[in-house]
Structure 1
Amino acid sequence: MRFLAITLIVHAPDPITGRQPTTHERFNEVVENAVLAEQLGFDGFGVGERHERPFISSSPTVVLSHIAARTRAIRLFTAVTTLSLLDPVRAYEDYATLDHLSGGRLELIIGKGNGAAQRELFNVTPQDQWARNAESFEVFRQLWQDNQITYDTQFRPPLRDAEVWPLPYQRPIRIWHGSATSQESVDLAARYGDPLFSANVTNPVEPYAELIDYYRQRWLDYGHDPAQIAVGAGTAGYYSHRDSQVALETYRPVWEGNSAAQRRAGVPQVFTSYEDYVERSSALIGSPAQIIEKVHRYHEQFGHSVLHIHADAGGLTQEQHRDSLELFQSDIAPTLRREIPDPPWGWGSPAQDGSLDTVPTTTASHALATG
């Protein structure tokens, strides 16, 4: 199993102290958390993309480029790239550039994105968001294979023998499809033979497991090799201490503060109490042994080989956050790495072509099988 630390760059008051960092402080915190994740041995670091409050992750390519300059080996993920809102040509230019600046460490998780405010900002309707996402993905995917393209687009000016530069470093690149609640993103991933990343944050396990089961069925329907399926999954929170009671009581005020903020914002409460949240959500709160057991419980339903946890302290002190991440790497990750397989391609970059003078014809689906 492989492990990512992910941030959506929420910019909100601390759920316990009420202090809100400045924008400058928050970006610095994200970069330092990425450096820490590499130092501690995480396999990847992800930055989300949102275009509405309380997030300031509207420019993930810029943030990831800076992180690329501060790190050397950790893989860099988008979580997610909201292709339904973006011009796929511009997105390709940005990410092909980032791919070079990172030395081929980029992995994309794409999706339509959530939130009415950002949808309205980009004049995307609930009726056309899935069609936009699918079209943008197809244009983006084709450009990554061949930067000279003709395509009759519906949502941007059609492309006629268009050349788009630069050529990417990784050819092909691995593209994951982010999935939260809908079958459309799951079907798109299965159709192209791409890996799936389940959000697995808001609800109990059942709806996510149902979507992953649907993905596996559609994968077979499209004729792909079942041995090449890869699934990632998120978590709703993380804090570990060798004493399970200390872990539970340390994280309780974080949950209480976040729940109070959600109630003020009118967000429905899925879990009725802190105890219910610890038991039925995907949050990993407790001793290392308890967390290992819970990940295995989810693995039985998901069959996932990649797991993300929150990169941000999010109400914990920096000392508590770092101690907990260190404990994850010393007492949790080694056991899970031994007991749960990696993705079927191992880890690292997909197959790369060092020559920039030719354009490969290898497809994304083939990369999943051979990269």
Structure 2
Amino acid sequence: MEIGISTFVETTPDPETGEVITHAQRLREVVEEIILADQVGLDVFGVGEHHREDFAASSPAVLLAGAATQTKRIRLTSAVTVLSSDDPVRVFQDFATLDGMSNGRAEIMAGRGSFIESFPLFGYDLQDYNELFDEKLELLLKICESEKVTWRGGHRPAIKNRGVYPRPVQNPLPVWVGSGGNPESVIRAGQLGLPLVLAIIGGRPLQFAPLVQLYKKAAAQAGHDISKLPVASHSHGFIADSTEKAADKFFPSTQQVMNVIGRERGWGHYDRSSFDAARSFEGALYVGDPERVAEKIIYLRKNVGITRFMMHVPLGTMPHDDVMRAIELLGTEVAPRVREEVSTWEKNQK
């Protein structure tokens, strides 16, 4: 069971003061967060790609490289790379470079993207949303498999026996598929034999169990060894010394972000009752003291089949010291409890 952090490097207005942190300052803070995550023994740190004013990480590989040479064991991944609007050759080159700088700790999490700002920015038509992803994923996997590539598609110039460099330390460079829970996307990941990441950010996490089974069934039918295919969750959360303190600290920025995005997408108003329901034991928010959060992660592992848990923190703008404390608690108190309990449970299953 792997435990880690993901961030979108938000630069939203502070919910109390209204002040907005600069992109440069938030980027430097995230490097500090990655270094701390490595020091406290977390397994992975992910940075999501966005192209709008309230997110600072348009280039996750560059940001992760800023921490690569200052860390020793933590894996460094995008969360996600919006592959549909990017060039797979360049994506591979960026992450192969990161892999070299980190001595084999880079990963790519490829997704279609729930935010669509990158499509008009880079000149892509949203009508080609799904076709672009399928085609570019095919090319990315070809580059990962072979130094010399010959390929032809409908949305990018063909490649004829060209080498793509640098080559990564890992062979092949790991590519995960990020999904919001669409059955077709999890089946596709299973058929390709690629690790799966589910964005479990609403509803009841147990509702994702059938999707994990669907993924494994598709993988098995395609001839892949499902015991070697990890499944990750990306879930909002926050940890403090007490559950009440964690909830009170995490709610203001969460409400602000959820209502901003909600207005864009036609969601209902997000209030404290919505928040409290989501942080119940059956809910999708992992907010509380270390014991509470550990119990929920263990429950997710046993009942959904998640083998990597990535806590998305912060959600919106929060004091950097609070975020650092949450990362410290996740690494020093939550992760050891989860690993010990899951290890014992897995032994009893055999």
C-alpha contact (below 8 Å) 2:11/2:317 kept by paired residues: no
How far is 1:182 from its partner? 1.9
Change (3 A) 1:259 1:58: closer
Q: What is the CA–CA distance in structure 2 between the aligned matches of 1:120 and 1:310, rounded to whole Å?
A: 27
Q: What is the CA–CA distance in structure 2 between the aligned matches of 1:336 and 1:151, rounded to whole Å?
A: 44
1:1-371 to structure 2, matched below 5 A, reads 1-205=1-205, 207-241=207-241, 243-262=242-261, 265=264, 267-269=266-268, 273-279=274-280, 281-312=283-314, 314-340=316-342
How far is 1:130 from its partner? 1.9
Query: Which has the higher mean CA deviation after the structures are superposed, 244-253 or 283-292?
Result: 244-253
Q: What is the CA–CA distance in structure 2 between the aligned matches of 1:333 and 1:121, rounded to whole Å?
A: 39
Q: What is the CA–CA distance in structure 1 between the aligned matches of 2:331 and 2:191, rounded to whole Å?
A: 35
Change (3 A) 1:217 1:270: farther
Change (3 A) 1:49 1:185: same
After superposition, give the CA deviation of every residue in 1:222-241 in whole Å (9 maximum; x if it has no partner): 12223223100011221232
Q: What is the CA–CA distance in structure 1 between the aligned matches of 2:223 and 2:158, rounded to whole Å?
A: 31
C-alpha contact (below 8 Å) 1:33/1:312 kept by paired residues: no
Q: Supply the AA of the counterpart residue of 1:273.
A: S
Change (3 A) 1:93 1:274: closer
How far is 1:39 from its partner? 1.7
Q: Supply the AA of the counterpart residue of 1:340.
A: V
Q: What is the CA–CA distance in structure 2 between the aligned matches of 1:325 and 1:227, rounded to whole Å?
A: 29
Query: Which has the higher mean CA deviation after the structures are superposed, 312-321 or 224-233?
Result: 312-321
Aligned counterpart, 1:352: none
After superposition, give the CA deviation of every residue in 1:44-94 in whole Å (9 maximum; x if it has no partner): 111111223422221112112111122222211111112111121222222
Instruction: Give unmatched runs, 5+ long, in structure 2.
Output: none
Q: Supply the AA of the counterpart residue of 1:220.
A: A
What SS does the aligned partner of 2:236 have?
Answer: coil
Aligned counterpart, 1:356: none
Q: Supply the AA of the counterpart residue of 1:80.
A: V
Q: What is the CA–CA distance in structure 2 between the aligned matches of 1:264 and 1:224, rounded to whole Å?
A: 42
C-alpha contact (below 8 Å) 2:47/2:80 kept by paired residues: yes
Identity, % of aligned pairs?
31
Count of equivalent residues: 342
Change (3 A) 1:188 1:99: same
Please provide the CA RMSD for this pair.
Answer: 2.5
After superposition, give the CA deviation of every residue in 1:204-256 in whole Å (9 maximum; x if it has no partner): 32553343232122122212223223100011221232x33333333333444
C-alpha contact (below 8 Å) 2:239/2:293 kept by paired residues: no
Q: Supply the AA of the counterpart residue of 2:150.
A: T
After superposition, give the CA deviation of every residue in 1:326-350 in whole Å (9 maximum; x if it has no partner): 22233221110112259x9xxxxxx
C-alpha contact (below 8 Å) 1:180/1:199 kept by paired residues: yes
Q: Supply the AA of the counterpart residue of 1:239.
A: I
C-alpha contact (below 8 Å) 2:5/2:313 kept by paired residues: yes
After superposition, give the CA deviation of every residue in 1:104-152 in whole Å (9 maximum; x if it has no partner): 1101111111223222223333442222212212211111221211112
Q: What is the CA–CA distance in structure 2 between the aligned matches of 1:237 and 1:275, rounded to whole Å?
A: 12
Q: What is the CA–CA distance in structure 2 between the aligned matches of 1:319 and 1:56, rounded to whole Å?
A: 19
Q: Supply the AA of the counterpart residue of 1:276.
A: A
Q: What is the CA–CA distance in structure 2 between the aligned matches of 1:158 and 1:260, rounded to whole Å?
A: 43
C-alpha contact (below 8 Å) 1:47/1:79 kept by paired residues: yes
Give TM-score, length-normalised by structure 1.
0.84
How far is 1:180 from its partner? 0.7
Query: Which has the higher mean CA deviation after the structures are superposed, 29-38 or 66-75?
Result: 66-75
C-alpha contact (below 8 Å) 1:180/1:208 kept by paired residues: no
Q: What is the CA–CA distance in structure 2 between the aligned matches of 1:212 and 1:303, rounded to whole Å?
A: 7
